[in-house]
């Protein structure tokens, strides 16, 4: 029996001798040089992802991240149960490796890693942790630290990420803000860095 493609044996599906019906899969053969990455993301997180967007693979077993590019966002979602037992709608995003093939050589079929996809970027952005923002009237504000005092500053919010928020107006890059301001933090309160 010959393989219809060149490659390596990835999985032996039928390990023991015995009678098999015609068409039964015995082994999986694949070409490790024809690697693609598939990551399932929450359907609401998949909405802004487009083919051609830059991505990188981190925590894959080496310190150096690997570059990739989004090839396709599949058009249909599926339900997957999270580690907390919550049913989530997820979408597969397919990525192609970028760069020299030898940098990708250690990865193989079914290997794990974390994928970071850049859905928005802008140079020289003033940003704060989302936990520094609080509502003030119909807008947003932060507590700025000035001469060891907390001062309320209204800000105009731009793009929002999962952890950070772009500030369009109201802050300069050199100002410090208070994250997770509690009820004891108010205008003019004395504060100290920890």
pLDDT band at 41 (very low <50, low <70, confident <90, very high): very high
Instruction: Check if the beta carbon of residue 150 is closer than 8 Å to that of residue 191.
Output: yes
Question: What would the two tokens of residue 182 be?
Answer: 């509690």
List C-alpha distances in Å: 128 to 88, 150, 156, 158, 162: 29, 16, 12, 11, 12
Q: Is residue 131 domain-resident?
A: yes
Mean pLDDT, residues 15-27 taken together:
80
Same domain, 43 and 113: yes
pLDDT of residue 5: 74
Same domain, 154 and 87: no
Domain boundary among 117, 150, 170: 117
pLDDT in tens, 112-168: 899 999 998 888 899 999 999 999 999 999 999 988 899 999 999 999 887 899 999
pLDDT of residue 107: 84
User: Which structural domain range is residue 144 located in?
Assistant: 122-194
Residue 103 confidence (pLDDT) above 90:
no
pLDDT of residue 194: 75
Q: Where are the beta strands (DSSP E) in the chain?
A: 8-12, 27-30, 37-42, 54-58, 66-73, 78-81, 87-97, 114-117, 127-129, 134-136, 139-146, 149-160, 164-169, 176-177
Q: Is residue 15 domain-resident?
A: no
Q: Is residue 26 domain-resident?
A: no
Considering the chain, what is the average pLDDT of its residues?
89
pLDDT of residue 27: 76
Domain boundary among 117, 139, 166: 117
| Residue of 45, 59, 31 whose CA lies nearest to 92 | 45
Least confident of 14-28, 121-135, 152-166, 174-188: 14-28
pLDDT of residue 143: 94
């Amino acid at each position: 029996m010959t393989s219809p493609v060149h490659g390596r044996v990835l999985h032996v599906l039928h390990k023991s001798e015995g009678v098999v019906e015609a068409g039964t899969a015995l082994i999986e053969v694949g070409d490790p040089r024809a690697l693609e990455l598939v990551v399932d993301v929450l359907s609401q997180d998949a909405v802004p992802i487009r083919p051609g967007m830059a991505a990188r693979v981190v925590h894959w077993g080496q310190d150096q991240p690997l570059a990739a590019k989004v090839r396709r966002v599949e058009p249909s979602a599926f339900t997957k149960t999270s580690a907390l037992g919550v049913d989530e709608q997820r979408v597969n995003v397919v990525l192609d490796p970028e760069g020299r093939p030898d940098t990708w050589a250690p990865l193989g079929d079914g290997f794990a890693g974390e994928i970071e996809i850049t859905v928005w970027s802008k140079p020289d952005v003033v940003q704060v942790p989302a936990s520094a923002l609080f509502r003030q009237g119909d807008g947003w504000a932060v507590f700025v630290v000035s001469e060891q005092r907390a001062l309320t500053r209204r800000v105009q919010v731009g793009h929002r990420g999962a952890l950070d928020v772009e500030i369009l107006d109201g802050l300069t890059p050199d100002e410090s803000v208070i994250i997770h301001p509690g009820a004891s933090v108010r205008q003019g309160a004395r504060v100290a860095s920890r």
